[in-house]
Structures are given as C-alpha cells and as structure tokens.
C-alpha cells in the first residue's frame, strides 16, 4: 500500500511540474513536443535510407562488366541525397532543441524563483526563527531553478526514446521476434541499480543540508562587507576558513562515497549489457554469411541494434532522471505547500482608519514556539489616540517581543490586542500591519536609492506602472509625483535632507557599496532614513525601538525636542534604554522579566522609587 501511495504522490508531482512548465511558457512546451516527434522519427528514416544506399550500391557493383550502370548509379545518388536531407533536418532539429530547452529553462527558472520568493514572504516570522524552516527553504532554493524543467525534459526525452524503441522494435521483429526482448532484458539490471542509488542520494541530501548551510554561513562571514572590519582586525579569516574547509571536505567525501559505490555497481552490471548485444551482432553476421541477409540488411540491423541500445539507454536515463527529479521535487513542494499560521478570518473586520478609543493590550501572555519560558506574562497596556507611551526595561525584559505582537508578527498565547474594541485576530494581518509604522532596533540598509529607501515605508502610495513591452534591468515602476513629494517631506522631518544635499545625486543617489556608484553612509544617517521610512506611512501608531541609538547627541536632542511635532498627532510607543529621552512620554510602562511592574509619568515613577528610579539614577550618575 505504501508503494502504491508513493507512486501516486510521484504522479501528482509530475502533474504539478508539467502544469507549471506549461503555465510558464505554452509556446516553448509545444515547440519542445514537436521537436521530440522529429527527433524520434528522423534517425529511423536515416537508418532505413542507409540500408537502401548499401543495397543499391551492392546491386550496381554486382552487374556484369559492360552492363549499363546509369540506372543503378542514379538510384544510389537519389538515396544519398535523401539521406543528406534527412541528416540536415536532424541537425537542425538538434540545434532547435538546444535553443528551446534553454529558453524553456529560463522562463521556468524565473517563474519558480518568483514562487519561492512569494512563498517566503507569506510565511510568518515564526518560521524564520526556526532552523528546520531554513533547511527547507535552502533545499527549495537549490531545486527551484531547474527541477521542473528537468522533469518536462525527462518526459519529452522518455517519449522520444519510447517512440524510437517502438519503431526500432517493429523493425527488429523482422529479424527475429525475440530480439527486442533480449535487448530489453539487458538493461533491467542497470535500471534497478540506479534506482537504488537515487534513494541513497536523497537520504544523503537530507542529512547534508544543515552542514551545507553552515558552510555557506562561514563563506558569508569571509566574503560579505558587514563582517569585513572585524574579520580583518581580529584575524578571524583562518578560524572561519578552517571550519568552512572542514565542512566542504566532509560534504565532498560523503558525495564521493555515494559516487564510488554507484561506479562499482554500474561496472558490475555491464556484462548484462554487452554480452546480449554482441550475441545478436554475431547472429546477424552469421545470417549474412549464410546468404539469408543482404549487406544492406546487415548494415540496417547493425544500425538498428545500436540505435536500440542508445534508445534504451536514453529511456533508462529518462526514467532515472524522472525518479530522481520527482524525489527531489518533493523538497521544493514541501516548502511551497507550507501555510502561514497567521491568516485572515473568513470575514475580516476593517482596521479603523482613525482611532477613537485607542489600542488595548489585555492580560497578554506569550512564549516563543519550542520554548517553555514565558517572554511576556499577563501584560496590560493602553495607548490612547495621539498619546506618547514609553516602554522601558533591562535587556531581555520582553520589550521587542511586545513590539512583534503589536505588529501582529505573532499572536499571543492568551489575552488580546484590540483597537477600538476590534481584536487584531479578527482583522487581516496585512491590514492590521499597514496601520502601524515602526523603526526596529535592527533596521535594515537597502542597496537602493535614498528616495527608494524611504518609499519602502509605504509602497501602497501611487506609482507609475512599468511598460511590460520594454525589457531592461532598470525598467520598473517609479514613484508618482505625489509620492515623490511625500518622500521629500518625510526626508525633511527625519533630518535626511541635511546630508542628502551633499550626495552626488541627492535623493536619487544609490546607497551602499554592493553595486557600482553606490555611496556608503554612517550608521546614524542610516537610522535617520529608517525614521523617514516610518514617518512616510500615514499610520495611527508609530513604534520606535531605540530610534536614536546611532544618533549623535545633537541629532538626538533635535529629534526629541520636536518629537510631538514630528509624529504629527499620531500615537507613539517609544522604547529606549536612555531614560532621559522617555521623560517626554505621557505614560511610561516598566517591564521586568516579561511583566509590567509599574506605570506612570516620569515624576510619578521616580517618586515610587522602584526599578525605573534605580535605572534612572544609575544612568544619571554617569553624567555627574
């Protein structure tokens, strides 16, 4: 029963692959099928013509001396011309097949890469904090560009070889009915051996993926710019290099062990292939020697057996390729079939565009997946429209975790987060998130223009559509004039325009050193861009996790002196270790080991003399 289920699963995978390739480019697939028919028929035509040529020349050479030979000569030349035409068409088909195969591979690879990217974007943050997910993603990225195309090529190759085998078999039956069966039996041992090694290679791939990912990680450390300074200063290259080399050596040794076992097994079955073939050739030679077959038939049958061997080897290779590809394609579809855990309800509620009652966090508790420790426990917090709330606490107290839940990157294990009485879980996740802007503590640097870096804050803003008839790496959608104005305004509010004017192309300057012409910025300038990105989105809540950690004292003072003006009446949740910056908040919550231990204004919390007062006094002493 299990074998039947595995076969059905393989057939489903084949069907999905064929549908995918067809959807990627129907014209390419039709062209490929047409070339399969030509490639299967033309070799047989050439073989038949070769037999006619030999018999025609043999009959002409057997004519008595002085007998007219023009007719025989003309007949021979006609067969030769026809054979030449068939050879030319066959060569053209081979050339066209190479072109079609490459074109089909490119369109499928493009479609598959897009599918993997879209699927990765659909996945919840929980997946990206799980090592096994990255193993699955890595295998999907490895298989996506070529496996579906290989499956279709394997199917067309199998069809081509089967057509050839059927035609050649019909020809060889005229020699003796048992001949096709002898040739078929000769390839079965090789098929069984190679099927076994596909399973071995599959198991090796599953086992080696984590090691391959770790090796890639050490390669990143040695070759990417973010690590370059420390790698050189602390002389880390030999340390990382030795680990990379050890892992690559282990991977190579394991793969070679599989290849060596396969080589030995393949060598052991060659006797089953060679012996029947030469026995049949000996039989044909004896029939010709005894006058049963003509020289033309000898040539034709010899060629037919060679063609049959080639077609059977091609069929064997196609079957093995299909078996291997469907086995490994399961890795790709295992990833593509994953479903996000945070999904929109059947009838999602609208997220209020304008707050009335505000945001409420009630009795919220949360533990990360596969962890027994509560990151947050029974948290209660409220943010009124336009209110500035601060969240303080020591490292590991749960501040960033709470931000993740407010953004609905996770759902709480118990309790709720609601807006104007609407539970976040009753809304579509993407709509809930669009009502929030954030500057995360680990904000990103994007190798795009400065304007595009800010535009990323709200890609729902108007854009000009790209003309799909133009193929160019730089031809894509552009921001509309109204969007450009909003980007420029956000740049001014965040203080970005002060250094943008000194860049070669202002807001249109490419940032980062990843590509030619890029300009690198200081970490403080990158943080200002992250602030501009957050200011761009017209959200009702602004989450700022250490928004001034990379700013110099003057820039930090400017930011918080005009903070309420910058947020433009929106509610804000400010997280900072610098307690001097949170004094402006209307309400301050103190978080300790995942629990809210105090709330109030700065003066009220100082008067209480708890954890907040201790932290504030510790920081104040460093300035005395």
Summarised one tens digit per residue, pLDDT across range 243-255 is 888 888 998 888 8
Q: How far apart are CA 109 and CA 264, in angstroms?
A: 35
Asked if residue 5 has pLDDT above 60, the reply is: no
Residue 53 burial by Cβ neighbours in a 10 Å radius (0-12, 13-18, 19+): buried
Domain boundaries, the chain: 13-61+69-336, 356-435+539-624, 446-464+477-538
Query: For residue 3, what pLDDT is reported?
Result: 44
Of 322, 42, 51, nearest to 167 by C-alpha is: 42
- Which range has the worst mean pLDDT, 394-398, 490-494, 598-602? 394-398
Of all residues in the chain, what percent are helix, strand and coil, respectively (each to 5)?
A: 65, 10, 25
Per-residue pLDDT tens for 528-579?
A: 999 999 999 988 899 988 887 777 777 777 777 777 777 777 899 998 877 8
Query: For residue 288, what pLDDT is reported?
Result: 79
Query: For residue 377, what pLDDT is reported?
Result: 94
Of 422, 542, 546, nearest to 493 by C-alpha is: 542
12 vs 64, more confident = 12
176 vs 535, more confident = 535
Asked if residue 114 has pLDDT above 70, the reply is: yes
Residue 574's SS3 state is strand
pTM check: above 0.95: no
Instruction: Decide the pairing of beta strands 541-545 and 571-575.
Output: parallel
Q: How far apart are CA 424 and CA 404, in angstroms?
A: 13
Of 259, 297, 300, 302, nearest to 277 by C-alpha is: 302
DSSP letter assigned to residue 510: B
- Which range has the worst mean pLDDT, 52-56, 147-151, 178-182? 147-151
Q: Which CATH superfamily is domain 13-61+69-336 in?
A: ABC transporter type 1, transmembrane domain (1.20.1560.10)
Per-residue pLDDT tens for 588-608?
A: 999 999 999 999 998 899 989
Q: What is the CATH code of the structural domain delimited by 356-435+539-624?
A: 3.40.50.300
Q: How far apart are CA 219 and CA 601, in angstroms?
A: 50
Q: How far apart are CA 422 and CA 145, in angstroms?
A: 43
Q: How far apart are CA 375 and CA 341, in angstroms?
A: 20
Query: For residue 64, what pLDDT is reported?
Result: 67
Of 588, 548, 538, nearest to 439 by C-alpha is: 548
Confidence of residue 63 (pLDDT cuts 50, 70, 90): low
467 vs 10, more confident = 10
Query: For residue 598, what pLDDT is reported?
Result: 92
Asked if 584 and 573 count as a contact pair (C-beta separation under 8 A), the reply is no
Confidence of residue 281 (pLDDT cuts 50, 70, 90): confident
Asked if 608 and 598 count as a contact pair (C-beta separation under 8 A), the reply is yes
Average pLDDT over residues 236-265: 85
Adjacent-strand bridge partners of 600: 588
| Alpha-helix residue ranges (DSSP H) falling in 224-236 | 228-233
The rounded percent of the chain whose pLDDT value lies above 90 is 18
């Amino acid at each position: 029963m299990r074998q039947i289920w595995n076969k059905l699963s393989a057939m489903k995978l084949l069907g999905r692959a064929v549908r995918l390739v067809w959807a990627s480019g129907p014209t390419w697939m039709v062209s490929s099928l047409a070339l399969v028919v030509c490639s299967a028929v033309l070799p047989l035509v050439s073989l038949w013509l070769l037999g006619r040529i030999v018999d025609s020349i043999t009959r002409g050479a057997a004519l008595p001396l002085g007998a007219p030979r023009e007719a025989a000569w003309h007949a021979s030349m006609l067969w030769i011309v026809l054979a030449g035409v068939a050879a030319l068409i066959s060569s053209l088909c081979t050339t066209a097949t190479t072109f079609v195969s490459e074109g089909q591979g490119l369109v499928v690879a493009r479609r598959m890469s897009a599918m993997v990217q879209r699927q990765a974007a659909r996945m919840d943050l929980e997946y990206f904090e799980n090592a096994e997910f990255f193993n699955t993603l890595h295998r999907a990225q490895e298989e996506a560009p070529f496996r579906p195309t290989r499956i279709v090529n394997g199917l067309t190759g199998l069809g081509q070889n089967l057509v050839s085998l059927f035609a050649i078999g019909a020809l060889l039956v005229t020699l003796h009915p048992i001949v096709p069966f002898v040739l078929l039996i000769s390839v079965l041992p090789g098929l069984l051996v190679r099927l076994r090694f596909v399973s071995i290679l599959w198991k090796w791939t599953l086992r080696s993926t984590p090691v391959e990912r770790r090796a890639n990680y050490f390669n990143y450390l040695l070759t990417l710019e973010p690590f370059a300074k420390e790698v050189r200063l602390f002389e880390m290259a030999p340390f990382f290099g030795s680990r990379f080399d050890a892992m690559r050596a282990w991977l190579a040794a394991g793969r070679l062990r599989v290849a060596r076992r396969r080589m030995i097994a393949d060598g052991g079955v060659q006797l089953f292939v060679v012996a029947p073939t030469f026995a049949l050739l000996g039989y044909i030679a004896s029939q010709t020697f005894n006058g049963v077959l003509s020289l033309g038939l000898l040539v034709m049958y010899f060629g037919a057996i060679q063609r049959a061997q080639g077609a059977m080897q091609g069929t064997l290779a196609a079957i093995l390729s299909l078996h291997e590809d469907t086995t490994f394609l399961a890795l790709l579809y295992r990833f593509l079939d994953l479903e996000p855990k945070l999904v929109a309800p059947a009838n999602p509620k609208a997220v209020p565009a304008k707050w009335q009652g505000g945001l409420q966090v009630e009795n919220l508790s949360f533990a990360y997946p596969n962890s027994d420790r509560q990151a947050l426990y029974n948290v209660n917090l409220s943010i009124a429209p336009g209110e500035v709330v601060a969240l303080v606490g020591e490292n590991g107290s749960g501040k960033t975790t709470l931000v993740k839940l407010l953004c609905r990157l996770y759902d709480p294990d118990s309790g709720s987060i609601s807006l104007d009485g609407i539970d976040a879980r009753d809304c579509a996740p993407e709509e809930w998130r669009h009502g929030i802007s954030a500057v995360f503590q680990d904000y990103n640097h994007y190798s795009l223009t400065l304007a595009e870096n800010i535009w990323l804050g709200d890609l729902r803003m108007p854009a000009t559509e790209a003309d799909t008839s133009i193929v160019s790496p730089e031809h894509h959608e552009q921001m509309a004039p109204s969007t450009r104005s909003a980007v420029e305004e956000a740049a001014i509010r965040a203080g970005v325009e002060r250094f943008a004017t000194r860049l070669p192309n202002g807001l249109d300057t490419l940032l980062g050193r990843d590509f030619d012409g890029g300009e690198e910025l200081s970490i403080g300038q990158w943080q200002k861009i992250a602030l501009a990105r957050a200011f761009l989105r017209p959200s009702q809540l602004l989450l700022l996790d250490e928004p001034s950690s990379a700013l110099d004292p003057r820039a930090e003072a400017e930011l918080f002196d005009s903070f309420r003006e910058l947020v433009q009446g929106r509610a804000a949740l400010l997280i900072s270790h610098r307690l001097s910056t949170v004094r402006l908040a209307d309400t301050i919550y103190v978080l300790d080991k995942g629990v809210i231990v105090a709330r109030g204004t700065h003066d009220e919390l100082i008067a209480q003399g708890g954890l907040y007062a201790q932290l504030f006094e510790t920081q104040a002493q460093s300035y005395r």
